[in-house]
Amino acid sequence: MSAPLRTQVAIIGAGPAGLMLAHLLHRCGIESVVVESRSRNYVESRVRAGVLEHGTAELLNDTGAGERMRREGLVHRGIALRFDDCSKRIDFPDLTGGKTVTVYGQQEVVKDLIAVRLGAGGSILFECEVIAVDAGDDPSICYRDAAGAEHAVRADFVAGCDGFHGVARAAIPPDAVTIYDHAFPFGWLGILAETPPVSEELIYVNHARGFALVSMRSRTISRMYLQCRNDEDLGLWPDERIWAELRERLGSDRGGPDVRPGKMLQKGVTPMRSFVCDPMRYGRLFLAGDSAHIVPPTGAKGMNLAIADVYVLAEALDAYYGSGETALLDAYSQTCLRRVWKTQRFSSYMTRMLHRFDGQVPFDYRVQLAELDYVTSSRTAAASLAENYVGLPFESTADLRKVPT
């Protein structure tokens, strides 16, 4: 093993959380090294979430990483909730004092943050698999590079931003955390297709045959989902069946938006689950993003929650290196978990309002329709949904937008 590399913060994972953390720390004058098991091409082409909360988009803009997002991102001023073959719109700016969301793929955010990181001379070690994490008084990580050689990084702190299946959370003794886990009894069959979006805004559908969502990645690429079984056999879903089911759930033959079949670029099934690890810290190891929590995608919160985590962590590290203050680091987990549980609440609410459940009786379905009718006809209820969808304020007041001197 070569001599250990020394840095202030070792970051595991080059997803949105790890890259944004590195970017914010750089702007505070704090050194970091990002270690990523996959190649640069893989992480830049990995299609994931695509809705940025108002605060997430503002943070990208204010920290110099939002130039391409401003050019190519699609600003959305609302969503439609479709039920009983009728669409009702939730107007975000009207209900939230002017806030919007931006449709811009997670992989595009990753590309932008990698470019900013490398452009500033920062370090990202691609194709380097972390095999050990020490969260003690002298923190370190050990990784194996593409050639099989092992290396160590010593740091003051380790940030585990390596996702649900990563090594960071696995390095914490099981008796040091409490795990909250809930698996929903269905998944999403998702497609990415070369076809123009059927609407300028997202449409969430509650239908007797199951949930559907029509979204987009650009003005020519659509992202669409159908509720399905968790163990759905994709072989039973040829393209023609998918397009027919989308048209049925959207009510295309009954005055609803019509779907134009196009070339399928991607097809897969995503299980639905909620997960929280409490606390999000062990010693000098801090978890952020999917390594600490998973939310069902109905509320479009996964990437945004990860960005909110590292915003809090960067503020805490800035205070530590600036004045030796540890109060914000000590409060990191509690601060993040307040937002995490509010987000779990909203994501669960959206999921339960819009999906069909095993054993659901006609009474349950009518209650769902009544909830949809209420939330789209009561300004107070609609404002609550809109406030949560565009994003709650970050749990932080520090000015992380400064450029280091």
Catalytic residues: 76, 204, 297, 301, 389
Q: What type of residue sits at position 45?
A: S
Q: How far apart are CA 141 and CA 121, in angstroms?
A: 22
CA dihedral for 182, 184, 185, 186, sign (positive or negative)? negative
Look at residues 181, 272, 192, 182 and name the one whose alpha carbon lies nearest to residue 231. Answer: 272
Q: Checking DSSP bridges between strand 285-287 and strand 281-282, what pairing results, if any?
A: antiparallel
216 neighbors 223 (Cβ within 8 angstroms): yes
111 neighbors 47 (Cβ within 8 angstroms): no
Sorted by sequence, the CB contacts under 8 Å of residue 74 that are 6+ apart come out as: 102, 103, 104, 216, 218, 219
CA dihedral for 23, 216, 241, 266, sign (positive or negative)? negative
Q: Is the peptide bond before 4 cis (omega within 30 degrees of 0)?
A: no
Helix axes 302-323, 332-354, angle to 10 degrees: 170
Q: How far apart are CA 87 and CA 227, in angstroms?
A: 19
The DSSP secondary structure of 282-329, one letter per residue, reads ETTEEE-GGGTEE--GGGS-HHHHHHHHHHHHHHHHHHHHHH---HHH
370 neighbors 389 (Cβ within 8 angstroms): no
Helix or strand holding residue 186 (H, E):
strand 178-194
**Residue with token string 């949560």:** 388
Q: How far apart are CA 402 and CA 399, in angstroms?
A: 7
Beta-ladder partners of 76: 101
